[in-house]
């Protein structure tokens, strides 16, 4: 484990504050016909927060940084999130942004990993994480897709800001689709969250061992 010292975790969007208000409302949420509501930022914090716990408890030698604390519901600006990463030396830092997906007709499913354009070290990080998640998702019959050319999809342009502006290797994970009920059932399941976070953590670790 040579040169990478800093692992920056970014939990996309806002969480739910003490009064029960979703700070990113009315965006990045979805109400199902049965009345249940999925809040993307809340799910991002749950999954990402578990990834953070695995890293912190097993690797005290790494500097684990979060752009926003998992318990902090504020929807911090993208420029602030990038600033947190860019304050650290790019050659010694990796950035992992954790999101869940949505689609126009609320009928898409699966996992996607995005990186910046062109061949960069981010691709190796994405491959490392994807290779860990793939067998887990295969078992559950879920799709997994890499996208090393993250542009052209306007819906996602906002989230991609963090990929465009960070100087270190950076990936953005879209864990599953929060607006698709079968995916949402998994996303909110604590056991699924733990297992997914574990595989994300293992994927990060694989990358660190090679870099």
| For Zn ion, the closer CB: 4 or 173 | 173
User: Looking at beta carbons, which residue is closest to Zn ion?
Assistant: 99
Radius of gyration of the chain (CA): 16
Task: Tell me how far, at minimum, the Cβ of 113 lies from Zn ion, in Å.
Answer: 13
| For Zn ion, the closer CB: 14 or 205 | 14
Task: Tell me how far, at minimum, the Cβ of 13 lies from Zn ion, in Å.
Answer: 6
121 forms part of the interface with Zn ion (CB under 5 A) = no
Footprint of Zn ion on 136-165 (CB under 5 A): 159
Among 10, 11, 12, 73, binds Zn ion (CB under 5 A): 12
Among 11, 29, 85, 99, binds Zn ion (CB under 5 A): 99
Contacts (Cβ under 8 Å, ≥6 apart) of 56: 64
Which residues of this protein are in contact with Zn ion, per CB under 5 A? 12, 99, 159
């Amino acid at each position: 484990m040579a040169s990478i010292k800093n692992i920056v975790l970014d939990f996309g969007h806002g969480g739910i504050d003490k009064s029960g208000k979703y700070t990113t409302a009315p965006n990045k949420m979805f109400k199902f016909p049965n009345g249940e509501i999925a809040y993307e930022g809340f799910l991002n914090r749950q999954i990402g927060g578990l990834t953070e716990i695995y890293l912190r408890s097993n690797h005290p030698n790494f500097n684990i940084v979060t752009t926003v604390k998992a318990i902090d519901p504020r929807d911090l600006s993208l420029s602030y999130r990038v600033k947190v990463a860019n304050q650290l030396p790019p050659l010694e830092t990796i950035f992992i942004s954790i999101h869940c997906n949505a689609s126009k007709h609320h009928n898409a499913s699966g996992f996607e990993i995005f990186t910046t354009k062109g061949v960069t070290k981010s691709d190796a990080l994405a491959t490392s994480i994807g290779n860990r998640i793939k067998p887990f998702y295969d078992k559950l019959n879920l799709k997994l897709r890499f996208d090393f050319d993250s542009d052209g999809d306007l819906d996602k342009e906002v989230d991609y800001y963090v990929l465009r502006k960070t100087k270190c290797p950076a990936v953005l994970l879209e864990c599953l689709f929060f607006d698709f009920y079968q995916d949402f059932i998994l996303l909110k399941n604590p056991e699924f969250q733990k297992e997914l976070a574990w595989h994300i953590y293992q994927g990060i670790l694989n990358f660190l061992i090679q870099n």
